[in-house]
Amino acid sequence: MAEFPEFGIHCSLKICNKLDFTPFKCDSCQKHYCGDHRFNHKCNKLEEERFPTASVDATTTSRKYLCSFRQCFSQELIKIECSECGHNFCLKHRMCEDHECVNIKRPSTQESSTLIKEEPAVVPTLNTMRMKNPLKVPPGEQMFLFVHIESNDDRFPVMISKSWTIGKAIDAIKKQLNLETGKHRWRLFKFPATQESLESSDIISKHLTDQSEVLLRAMENT
């Protein structure tokens, strides 16, 4: 490539320095990177933007960001927010058309088609969760919930047993979503949120059905 020095840019990551003809310019540090290090160059500027203060909870920095698209459970080490709807997505679904962004207007016929196809698309993902079944819930007892954390619009799928108490289900949800357990007392609410939380000693199937949406909220210990 020596005879064509004007073409391409070398990756700014010192351990790489590969010549790339379609380099990516990082919006945070303003440096160019190859495709392999586009989102994996340990950008100091990005860290400063995400965590402007020194007092950062260790659980926050280690947490992976889940994709909000309902057919996807991919996780990324960096937050990729849609500029239109503000939700977080993985690399595959970061574009508006890829995650069917609710803030992008579409013709009514296309909207109708999307609504018809949206629910059946959940089935393959839930089947995958049934096969993995990390909590070893018997097939006849499996219940899936879509959990909103605090007031966040993003929702995360979890598997529980319909025979569990709500208190035990909360513990399982925290474990699957990697939430801290010591500082707060977590409560479960129906979604959209009601004023009264669900009683921890009640059986969860008394209040919820399969694929219900719920709100998980941290309450101050008293």
pLDDT at 142 over 60: yes
For residue 22, the tally of other CB atoms under 10 A from its CB is 8
Q: Do 18 and 46 contact (CB within 8 A), yes or no?
A: no
The residue out of 99, 118, 137 marking a domain boundary is 118
Q: How many domains does the chain have?
A: 3
Which tens digit of pLDDT belongs to each residue from 173-222? 988 888 876 667 889 999 876 778 899 999 999 999 998 999 998 887 65
Q: Residues in the chain, how many?
A: 222
Residues 50 and 61 in one domain: no
Residues 158 and 132 in one domain: yes
pTM reported for the whole predicted model: 0.44
Residues 37 and 62 in one domain: no
What residues make up the domain containing 70? Answer: 57-118
